[in-house]
Structure 1
């Protein structure tokens, strides 16, 4: 045969592999190949012609793929474009979050505790959501209005520009409508004269907490708040609370509850 040993491959390893495959393809004993002017007898191959051809094709395919993989351009990563939310989308997002935190609706009415609780909860949730814009605060607060409150607010917005209103002005108008000044002073006086009387310790503490919001100047610091709570306790329990409980409200409440429980146990033992 011709000079099959003179391969055009530039890779020595590939050249040796191709020569070996070619030698396997030639099955006649005595035929030789030439490499560097030296004839080498080729032994009879043990594999079939089809197998050797497949191996040759696979070798050529690998070389072709390796060549083309270097020519194919790699994709260039595209920068991520941040899409800015529209004002409407931001508002809907805030309303959705606020509705999850604030499930209760405000219908209006004369229950002063409900009125004050509503505003208190609204402000708590607005702080949690980090809402600082006054107009957005008003939109969220009035979103939960229903029945009488919704009708009142609708008539108000037909006459005034809510966009220019501050949050403090909104609360002022809200309280003027549903929380008359005379009623607030009445609740303040109730707190000022609050005593335990026939109430249990838990009932007294709950009422103390509920009414204290209407007299903030009386509970402006921990010491004043604690003293006001202790001063309204039942006389026997008040005497047993020592000076060490006069400065921390939670400690005073805890001590009062324990003394009440001990008194009940003692009375129960006497009845037996």
Structure 2
């Protein structure tokens, strides 16, 4: 090659090299897919860390609650132990804390390129000494009352009292007076032993036998699922069964038309007192005296009317004395008739003579008082 051409080629080559030194190097192309994957990994890791922090906080709070419950249970056991060895304290419920499983992000979930700030859960750390002091400051729970034990003890004690009082069993009857007398005896003895209302029915059921027990079991079946039966319910159903309104009306009518008849004064008084229970209230002592006099036999009534009475008991005692006197007079009269050889007077003649003598006695008493 000629020297001039070689020089020109060298100059051109040097010029190209100098131009290449001033040209900026090419920027490599960014991999968008790799960048998106990096962002997804970072977001997934941040989400897992946040979930773990929330689970740890929940576990810590559950542990604190379990420690507080355990401390209360220990305090209650100590208080129960101080009261006596017979108190049994049931173990409190145990709290189990389960750690929440980590959240796994789905691979196909597309997270945008823009980063979203995750919520920050603040963690509060309680010092051990402060937590122990707070547990100790909790007030001890009140002792658990032994309600069932005291209830049974009272019931058995009342059962012994009723047995000692010779309370009769009831097997049912068609006599309304007998049923009424048993009911009154039951109520009176329950009142004497001071039986509380909630135990009266339970105690009464122990004295039902035979047909009466079958009847009451039927009442209980009819009320199954309804309100709990009480002693007042038993009395109401008992009266409806064994002492209905018809029996009450009959006893009132018998009391209004009571008469002594062939009964003695004491027997008449006993029947009078039995029937007066069904007459209701509002009857004064004066009314009772008038009714008793009205029902007495004529011979005794005429002798008792000459005196004014303030109490029924005074009239009964006076009538009993007059009855004994009439019996003695009757014996003497019969003995005198037999001794004289005369035939004894008939009953009608005796009553006529007795009535005439009673009139004379009453007249003499009135004249003497004047």
TM range (shorter): 0.5 to 0.7
8 A Cα contact 1:138 1:167, kept in partner: yes
8 A Cα contact 2:201 2:234, kept in partner: yes
Residue equivalent to 2:208 = 145
**CA separation of 1:136 and 1:197: change in aligned 2, threshold 3 A:** same
Q: 1:13-24 counterparts in 2 under 5 A?
A: none
Residue equivalent to 2:271 = 207
Residue equivalent to 1:126 = 190
- Measure, in 1, the Cα distance between the counterparts of 2:271 and 2:312: 15
Residue equivalent to 2:236 = 172
Equivalent of 2:287 in 214, 224, 232: 224
Q: Deviations over 1:148-202 (max 9, x none)?
A: 0011112222332697445443212101111221122112111110011222212
Residue equivalent to 1:159 = 222
Q: Which runs of 5+ in 1 are unaligned?
A: 1-79
Q: Deviations over 1:49-106 (max 9, x none)?
A: xxxxxxxxxxxxxxxxxxxxxxxxxxxxxxx98x975211111111121122143110
TM-score (normalizing by structure 2): 0.47
Q: Counterpart of 2:328 in 1: which secondary structure?
A: helix
8 A Cα contact 1:102 1:125, kept in partner: no
Residue equivalent to 1:271 = 334
- Measure, in 1, the Cα distance between the counterparts of 2:285 and 2:196: 29
- Measure, in 2, the Cα distance between the counterparts of 1:102 and 1:168: 23
Coordinate RMSD, CA, aligned:
2.6
- Measure, in 2, the Cα distance between the counterparts of 1:215 and 1:142: 30
**CA separation of 1:245 and 1:142: change in aligned 2, threshold 3 A:** farther
Q: Counterpart of 1:216 in 2: which secondary structure?
A: coil
Equivalences, count: 191
Residue equivalent to 1:16 = none
1:136 and 2:199 are equivalent in the alignment: yes
Equivalent of 1:253 in 307, 310, 316: 316
Residue equivalent to 2:30 = none
**CA separation of 1:132 and 1:86: change in aligned 2, threshold 3 A:** closer
TM-score (normalizing by structure 1): 0.63
Residue equivalent to 2:171 = 107
- Measure, in 2, the Cα distance between the counterparts of 1:157 and 1:102: 27
**CA separation of 1:245 and 1:105: change in aligned 2, threshold 3 A:** farther
Q: Which runs of 5+ in 2 are unaligned?
A: 1-82, 87-145, 336-370
1:233 and 2:296 are equivalent in the alignment: yes
8 A Cα contact 1:245 1:251, kept in partner: no
Q: Deviations over 1:190-243 (max 9, x none)?
A: 11100112222122111111222121337x333322222122111222222247
- Measure, in 2, the Cα distance between the counterparts of 1:243 and 1:168: 48
TM superposition shift of 1:244: 5.0
Larger Rg belongs to: 2
8 A Cα contact 2:167 2:186, kept in partner: no
- Measure, in 1, the Cα distance between the counterparts of 2:160 and 2:186: 14
Residue equivalent to 1:72 = none
**CA separation of 1:124 and 1:245: change in aligned 2, threshold 3 A:** farther
Residue equivalent to 2:158 = 94
- Measure, in 2, the Cα distance between the counterparts of 1:128 and 1:94: 10
